Amino acid sequence: MSGEITAISALNDQALKTYPVSSSAEIGEAMAAARRAAAVWAKIDVKQRVKQLAQLESVILAELDAVTEVIIVATGKVKTEVILGEIYPVLSLLRYYKNNAAKILAPCPVFTAPLAFPQAEAGYERRPYGVVAVVSPWNFPFQLTLSPLLTALISGNACIFKMSELSLPVGELLMQLLSKLDLPQGLVQQVTGFAETGEQLIDARPDLVFFTGGVTAGRAVMARAAQHPVPVILELGGKDAMIVFADANLERAAKAAMYGAFSNSGQVCVAIERCYVEAGCYAEFVDMLKDAAANVAVGHGAVGDLGGLTTLKQFAVIEAHYNDALAKGAKASSPLRLEGRYLHPVVLWDVTHDMRIMREETFGPLLPVMAFGSEQQAVDLANDSDYGLNASVWSKDISKAERVAGQLQVGNWAVNDVIKNIGHPGLPFGGVKNSGFGRYHGAEGLRHFTYTVAGLTSRSPLNDEPNWFPYSDVRYLQMRGFIDFVFGSGGLYQRIAGNWRQLQAFRGYASLNLRQHWHNLSILIFKRSIG
């Protein structure tokens, strides 16, 4: 596929720059270059890889305002949101891996039973896949590209990334920042285009695909990757629940709901998209939400909480969910007000689960609120969803809140906080159900970009092993006795005495440092047998 893509400002719809669409041949060339670079990079010690990549921290800090401005223009975010949601998580993750990656990826010895594996050592190591394809979305193009990209590089892979066609200036920015590091040629590359380009990238057969986006696109990526087959990590959408009990700090919970539902104009996979409030405080809490929503500042002025919609195509979904809710009996704090790209936030209450806004991902600044009567009902309502990404529970009774959180079908949860848990670099992040599978962040996330190789080394001087040929009825009885000795019931002496004759076949099999123990056991058995 050939052609061009013109990037458009999310602030004023003006054309920014035109980018050529990568051809199939160019993608193939990029893959070949990435494989060459991966072969070099994987041989570099992880501590050295981290040292080289950690320099990105100072590169970003030196150009912080310029980086912020590029992201603002491409996404429509307000500048504080850029710092909090795009830049800080990347720096935090980079610092975490700087301090922990070598330990996380270190070879791991495994205990070997001395009788079953005499004079043997066992363990496993983690190896990079090779080339990782990162396909990232438009809502957090800096963070959701750079975080998996750095994770792939630190674990020893090369990376080819494809950003949303709405975010190409951010992709150009990333390549400029990374070019200031001393990395092998071809280690990091970008391809540009639409969905077809993503398909061609997968068809070029990377060794792992990391995809962030919607469920429909995620299914398409998975189906495409399965044709080769290539393993995938999918970080998909959410319909995150907020459960507010009457004994919660309601003022804190209301402020958290504003941030959790409306930050980045609701264009967040872990945004609060369902709010369940205990009946005893429902009316009071709804009033608090209505008042708070009216005071959320929209725009890019000196004071601004919400920026614009990154793409106006999303407004069609938001409007459909809003109208469906009102048609089915919900009440709204205000009409939908779209001014240019700026959409004012709305609280909806008296919603039910037969409304689209409680079933489908909205990805916009709407907060639906529903009452619940009991703890079990709150759990049931929260779990009544095809999604399972994140959730929050609000109560001064921490034991109760954690008990409820432990019953939620999600990959992540927080008590008396919202979204912030996703920014913890040491916590693995990912979902269940239609929210995807696989993890990134934390030790588990880093390991997900590697595969495990297990090995065993024997130093036995014996010429034979009891499990080797020839087999016979005698050998069967010997192995049967060995199994009873290892796994059977009764004390150690009983199991030795009961299988003594059969265990004689394993005398030479015992490791040299156990032969003295075997001799001592023989003496003990002999003395007891004649005693």
Q: Which residues are catalytic?
A: 235, 269
Alpha helices in 164-280 (DSSP H): 168-178, 195-203, 215-226, 250-262
> Which whole-number Å values give the CA distances from 494 to 79, 489, 501, in the listed order?
74, 9, 13
Report the C-alpha dihedral over residues 209, 211, 217, 218, rounded to 10 degrees: 80
Contacts 24+ apart (CB under 8 A), 475-483: 475/505, 477/502, 478/502, 478/503, 478/505, 478/506, 482/115, 482/506
- Cβ–Cβ under 8 Å, residues 264 and 241: no
CA distance 525 to 174: 72
* Cβ count within 10 A of residue 129: 22
How many angstroms separate the CA atoms of 202 and 346, rounded?
40
Burial class (CB in 10 A: 0-12, 13-18, 19+), 111: exposed
Contacts of residues 99-104 at CB distance under 8 Å and 24 or more positions apart, as own/partner, are 100/426, 100/443, 101/46, 101/49, 101/50, 101/154, 101/155, 101/446, 102/46, 102/47, 102/50, 104/443, 104/446, 104/447
Label the pairing between strands 188-191 and 158-162.
parallel
Q: How many residues does the chain have?
A: 531
Residues 6+ apart with CB under 8 A from 476: none
**At residue 461, what are phi and psi to the nearest 5 degrees?**
-85, 0
Cα(149)–Cα(236) distance, integer angstroms: 17
Helices 46-53 and 88-104 meet at what angle, rounded to 10? 170
Per DSSP (E only), the strands in 35-146 are 108-110, 120-128, 131-135
